[in-house]
Amino acid sequence: MGAEVRRRAAGGRIDRDQTLDFVFDGRALRGFAGDTLASALLANGVDVVGRSFKYGRPRGIVGHGAEEPNAIVEVGAGASCVPNLRATQVELYNGLEARSIRASLFQRAAGAFGRLLPAGFYYKTFMSSPGAWMAWERVLRHAAGFGKAPDGADPDTYDRMNHHCDVLVVGAGPAGLSAALEAAGWGARVLLADEQSEFGGSLLAETRALGGDSAAAWLDGALAELDASGNVELLPRSTVSGYYDHNFLTLVERRSDHLGPVAAAGTRERLHRVRAEQVVLATGAIERPLVFANNDLPGVMLASSVSTYVNRYAVAPGKSLLLFTTNDHGYRTALDWHRIGREVVAIVDARESPAGGWVAAAKEAGIDVIVGHAIIEAVGRSRVSGAAIASLQANALAGTPRRLACDLIACSGGWNPTLHLGSQTGVKPRWSDSAGAFLPGDLGGGTVCAGAVAGTPTLRGCLEQGALAGATAASRAGFGSGRTTRSAPEVDEPPETPARSLFLVPHPKRVSRAPKQFVDFQLDVTASDIELAAREGYESVEHVKRYTALGFGTDQGKLGNVNGVAILAEALGKDIAEVGTTMYRPSYTPATFGAIAGRDVGGFFDPERHTPMHEWHTSRGAEWENVGRWKRPRYYPRSGETMQQALNRECLAARDGVAIMDASTLGKIDIQGADSAESLDRIYTTGFRKLGIGRCRYGLMLHEDGTIFDDGVTARLGEDRYLMHTTTGNAEVVFAWLERWRQTEWPELSVYFTSVTDHWATAALVGPKSRTVLAKVCTDIDLTGGAFPFMAVREGHVAGVPARVFRISFSGELSFEVNVPAQHGRAVWDALIDAGAEFDITPYGTEAMHVLRAEKGFIIVGQDTDGSMTPADTGMDWAVRRNKPFGFLGDRSLDLADHLREDRPQLVGLATDDARTVLPEGGQLVDDPECRPPVPIAGHVTSSYYSARLSRPIALGMVKGGAGRMGETVHCPLADGRVVKASIVDPIFYDPKGERQRV
């Protein structure tokens, strides 16, 4: 059938002056601006848009919106291609390239696949033998047939925007528009979102007049009014994809896809994160298909979709229409078809005596109305060529079926309210016998449902209910009285005869023998599959869903679920209400990873924190280590140096000459108040009450369970003022910990904590020559050992900047940690580098720092400890004072029986016997060199380096009962099969008396 035949000469909302060329499955085709890919395909006579998932049957377009199960396409090319779009929701643009992704599956796997995948295949195969998944995964993933993710990096930009509004209106159909107008009129901040490119919903295909004017004119007026209002934001092309707790909703806005790949500049999709005081759900309803044999043949469509293609897109997707309906509304499709001069073969109405206004109009138009009948089977090969109909009494067929010729079957089985969003909040939909549909459950005081989603059948009713919902929502948000201020436009609503519920059309053969009666088109679930599930004993709808895959597709069963539930209910002999629906989950339609990630990719994935000296490190070619979010220099390789060579050089400079490290990242907390010392006593294992002003003390911080979670040096700056150092990674955790105890347990203590981590830039000047270097730029502090001893702090000036200098050491060498306000950090660093030039001052990074401290047996919390270790386990009982008046956090836990066990893992030094092999960090330690399984684990290596100073490897580790095993041997099996022998030694490898740091 040619394009000219399908596209009507006039009418619709397409722009005939703008022709658009596009390619579908390699065929060059043409459409108009205003088309969707689906309407353009139908206009071009493309009947088959894919093959079905399981049986490989030809499939055509069924719907016209989010519900479309068959026309799943991949659009675009290369890295920006999007798999898995519904052709009914893809706006046509010039140059669009689309491929049917569901055609490829059966070109590869052939029809035999269907027999491999009976209902319950997944369930039976993988529940009974978990290993089977391994075997099947590749086949299934390959064959799943829902598109292929592009493998290149996505070149497009995505982002996120936060919104706060008084009223979010979801859906800009008649109800949503009325709600938005009313809420905005009361002054509420309104956000109106609709998934389509044009606002209007069903009005875009409406042929009746509203208030004496055309629907299009009323729509234009409403949109102009909303546009002019200062407090309404309109979001077209925005799918409300998720409805989460406390009225938080996500909207995915497609900003440039309709412009094609040429519009790659700008944001492709934007995720709107909306916090709404009130939500009006005006999401409409989706027509319910009818389940009969071969109902998946191309040419079987929803009646409302046929009308939409005719009225909105000026496309007649066939020549001779057979309408199958259970309600009056469906008659409108036959009337639309008749109006454009096409043949209506007949209206097959399942009801005995329909007598409503549309029925009368159809009869008046001369259309053959066959009452009390049903289509029992569609006929045709790759397209409908006719249908078998039969008389339907109660739930059984009567008489002999007869055949009618047609090339299009429009079905109207009633309406399923689009209640997915409400269901996402965890509120189960409820069955309404009067509406013959599931309706949203009680969504609470923050949500109002309006229009077809609430089961309202008429346009007039939707307009009225929308306005009331808008007024109600505005009022609940604090705007207006809750009464509507405008009257809904008049719409001709003829009387209707009640609909008949019909979920499965009987067939002369049993369901299991009849041609397939499809319930879920996307996953090829048939009525027979559901009955099989019931026979096999499944009763819960959630179990049947998993057994049959009903509703498991990307369409989440928008078309099939209700029929499926009803068929299950019938098979179980239960009411539909009793069976209930499955829960719907975000996202309403599939969302891209791009939209979810937003701009938090690449350099924005995780913030990098930089010290004031960052640029200097960069200029010196530092290799970086990430410590939390901080970028810290790991080492500074000179040209031609290996990492180990650089480390050796940096370590020896610190031991023999002078070296400098950027220690700005250490956490720093300023503590003030009369109870500062008391607070510190309670937080730390050590005592601070008697610490002299200008002196420093090391402390361990324990959780209440007695395990070490931080350590550091705290200095007393004044009578009631201290400065605490935390580890780099724990700065914020410790700060919150201090506030927690102050605020919740010890409000009586007079103490304040202030984080000053970012305020101070810190340069650690380390080595025998550090005093000489510092003296060149610091003249107002007496740096001699007598005046400025180890573990003391002095205030003065360094390079002319007010500074605090700490004589503390993490290397075991003479060391001065120079702290200056961060804005001066770089200048002071430069001055220290200049001052040290004549001594070949060597910058060193975290790796050398680790070696230096390991030589001294100093632990790193989080590397040598793992969250289960007490001070005793790490040999640091010396840092614990048990006789403080209050005790300290974790104190009591140190006496727990388990913490007193002698076979607990304890910190030890490890020396390899060959004095060459550097043990792997994380390596397991065992007692049996043969490693005969089962191998009891004696411990593991926590830190391991080559020590340039000692000319051999050193390591720290945790060994069960290690403190009592000095001199014994353990074995470390390596990945390459070797087993390395190591002796348990004291963890202090260098300067055990600590003399060097005290000079």
Partner 1 sequence: MFRIHCPHCREARSEEEFSYAGEAHIPRPVDPSSLSDSEWGEYLHTRTNPRGPHREMWVHTAGCRRYFNVLRDTVSYKILAVYPVGEMPPEQGEA
Partner 2 sequence: MSEPPGVVCRECPDRAFVNVRGDVGDPRLRDAVAQVAGVDLPREPGTWNQADRSRAYWLGPDEWLLVVEGDDGLEVEGRLRSALDGHFSVVDVTGTQVHKELSGPDVGKVLQKSSPYDFHPRHFPPGRCAQTVFAKATALVAAREDGAFDIVFRRSYADYFMRWLADAAAEYGYRLD
893 near partner 1, rule: CB under 8 A: yes
275 near partner 1, rule: CB under 8 A: yes
Q: Of the two residues 884 and 952, which places its CB atom closer to partner 1 in the complex?
A: 884
Nearest-approach distance from CB 525 to partner 2, in angstroms? 41
800 near partner 1, rule: CB under 8 A: no
For the segment 657-716, give every residue that binds partner 2 (CB under 8 A): 670, 672-674
Q: Which does 743 bind (CB under 5 to 8 A by kind): partner 1, partner 2, none?
A: partner 1
For the segment 331-370, give every residue that binds partner 1 (CB under 8 A): none
Hey, how many other C-beta atoms are within 10 angstroms of the C-beta on 555? 24
Q: Which does 758 bind (CB under 5 to 8 A by kind): partner 2, partner 1, none?
A: partner 2
Q: Distances in Å between the alpha carbon of 224 and those of 91, 182, 958?
A: 23, 14, 73
Q: Of the two residues 604 and 878, which places its CB atom closer to partner 2 in the complex?
A: 604
883 near partner 1, rule: CB under 8 A: no
Q: Which of 573, 607, 885, 967 binds partner 2 (CB under 8 A)?
A: 607
Q: How far apart are the first and last CA of the chain?
A: 98
DSSP 460-489: HHHHHHHHHHHHHHHHHTT-S-S--SSPPP
Residue 575's nearest CA partner among 584, 583, 566 is 566
Q: Which does 608 bind (CB under 5 to 8 A by kind): partner 1, partner 2, none?
A: partner 2
Q: Of the two residues 102 and 824, which places its CB atom closer to partner 2 in the complex?
A: 824
Q: Which of 256, 491, 891, 955 binds partner 1 (CB under 8 A)?
A: 891
**Phi, psi (5° rounding) for residue 516?**
-60, 130
Q: Of the two residues 90 and 738, which places its CB atom closer to partner 1 in the complex?
A: 738
Which ranges constitute the DSSP H helices of 326-458?
331-339, 357-364, 420-424
**Phi, psi (5° rounding) for residue 563?**
-60, -40
Nearest-approach distance from CB 444 to partner 1, in angstroms? 8
DSSP 117-181: S-TTHHHHHHHH-TTHHHHHHHHHHHH--S-----SPP-SEEEEEEEEEEEEEE--SHHHHHHHH
Query: In 493-513, which positions are buried (b, 16+ CB within 10 angstroms) versus exposed (e)?
Result: eeebbebbbbbbbbbeeebee
722 near partner 2, rule: CB under 8 A: no
Nearest-approach distance from CB 744 to partner 1, in angstroms? 5
Q: Of the two residues 486 and 892, which places its CB atom closer to partner 1 in the complex?
A: 892
Binding mask 726-765 for partner 1 (x = CB under 8 A): ----------x--xx--xxx-x------------------
Q: Which does 673 bind (CB under 5 to 8 A by kind): partner 1, partner 2, none?
A: partner 2
User: Counting beta carbons within 10 angstroms of the beta carbon of residue 187, is it exposed (0 to 12), middle (13 to 18) or buried (19 or more)?
Assistant: middle
Nearest-approach distance from CB 263 to partner 2, in angstroms? 13
Binding mask 308-347 for partner 2 (x = CB under 8 A): ----------------------------------------
- Asked if 697 contacts 790 with a C-beta cutoff of 8 angstroms, the reply is no
752 near partner 2, rule: CB under 8 A: yes
Q: Which of 4, 606, 840, 877 binds partner 2 (CB under 8 A)?
A: 606
Cα angle for residues 599, 603, 606 (degrees, 5° grid) = 80
Q: Which stretch binds partner 1 (CB under 8 A): 231-239, 577-585, 886-894, 940-948?
A: 886-894
Q: Which does 542 bind (CB under 5 to 8 A by kind): partner 1, partner 2, none?
A: none
Q: Which does 487 bind (CB under 5 to 8 A by kind): partner 2, partner 1, none?
A: none
Q: Which does 674 bind (CB under 5 to 8 A by kind): partner 1, partner 2, none?
A: partner 2
- Asked if 34 contacts 14 with a C-beta cutoff of 8 angstroms, the reply is yes
Q: Which of 356, 821, 920, 929 binds partner 2 (CB under 8 A)?
A: 821
The span from the CA of 419 to the CA of 584, in Å, is: 9
Q: For the chain, how long is the longest CA-to-CA vector?
A: 115
625 near partner 2, rule: CB under 8 A: no
599 near partner 1, rule: CB under 8 A: no
3-class DSSP assignment, residue 303 = helix
704 near partner 1, rule: CB under 8 A: yes
619 near partner 2, rule: CB under 8 A: no
**Phi, psi (5° rounding) for residue 915?**
55, 25
Q: Which stretch binds partner 2 (CB under 8 A): 105-113, 506-514, 649-657, 815-823?
A: 815-823
Q: Where are the beta strands (DSSP E) in 505-580?
A: 518-520, 525-526
Q: Which of 614, 649, 794, 949 binds partner 2 (CB under 8 A)?
A: 614
Nearest-approach distance from CB 99 to partner 1, in angstroms? 37
Q: Which does 418 bind (CB under 5 to 8 A by kind): partner 1, partner 2, none?
A: none
- Residue 186: in which H helix or E strand, if any? none
For the segment 243-262, give every residue that binds partner 1 (CB under 8 A): 244-248
- In sequence order, the 6+-apart residues with CB closer than 8 A to the CB of 500 are 326, 327, 350, 351
Q: Of the two residues 708 and 761, which places its CB atom closer to partner 2 in the complex?
A: 761
The span from the CA of 506 to the CA of 391, in Å, is: 10
Residue 168's nearest CA partner among 474, 586, 441, 479 is 474
Q: Which of 124, 319, 610, 776 binds partner 2 (CB under 8 A)?
A: 610
Q: Taking the mean position of all CA atoms in its chain, how far away is CA 407?
A: 44
Strand 708-718 relative to strand 696-702, pairing: antiparallel
Q: Which of 754, 779, 784, 969 binds partner 2 (CB under 8 A)?
A: 754
The span from the CA of 978 to the CA of 972, in Å, is: 8
Q: Which stretch binds partner 2 (CB under 8 A): 18-26, 404-412, 464-472, 605-613?
A: 605-613
Nearest-approach distance from CB 704 to partner 1, in angstroms? 6
Residue 405's nearest CA partner among 389, 385, 390, 391 is 385
- Asked if 282 contacts 466 with a C-beta cutoff of 8 angstroms, the reply is yes
Q: Which does 593 bind (CB under 5 to 8 A by kind): partner 2, partner 1, none?
A: none
Q: Which of 887, 920, 929, 961 binds partner 1 (CB under 8 A)?
A: 887
Residue type, 461: G
The structure tokens 């350099």 sit at 603
- In sequence order, the 6+-apart residues with CB closer than 8 A to the CB of 948 are 647, 648, 649, 651, 652, 851
Q: Which stretch binds partner 2 (CB under 8 A): 585-593, 655-663, 759-767, 976-984?
A: 759-767
Nearest-approach distance from CB 272 to partner 1, in angstroms? 13
969 bridge partner residues: 983
Q: Which of 291, 421, 761, 851 binds partner 2 (CB under 8 A)?
A: 761
286 bridge partner residues: 416
The structure tokens 């509420």 sit at 188
705 near partner 1, rule: CB under 8 A: yes
Nearest-approach distance from CB 754 to partner 2, in angstroms? 5
Nearest-approach distance from CB 631 to partner 2, in angstroms? 9
The span from the CA of 799 to the CA of 801, in Å, is: 6
Q: Which of 218, 630, 635, 722 binds partner 2 (CB under 8 A)?
A: 630
381 near partner 1, rule: CB under 8 A: no
Which parts of this chain interact with partner 1 (CB under 8 A)?
244-248, 273, 275, 426, 704-705, 736, 739-740, 743-745, 747, 887, 891-893, 895-897
Which parts of this chain interact with partner 2 (CB under 8 A)?
159-164, 189, 266-267, 273, 275, 599-600, 603-604, 606-612, 614, 630, 670, 672-674, 750, 752, 754-761, 802, 821-825
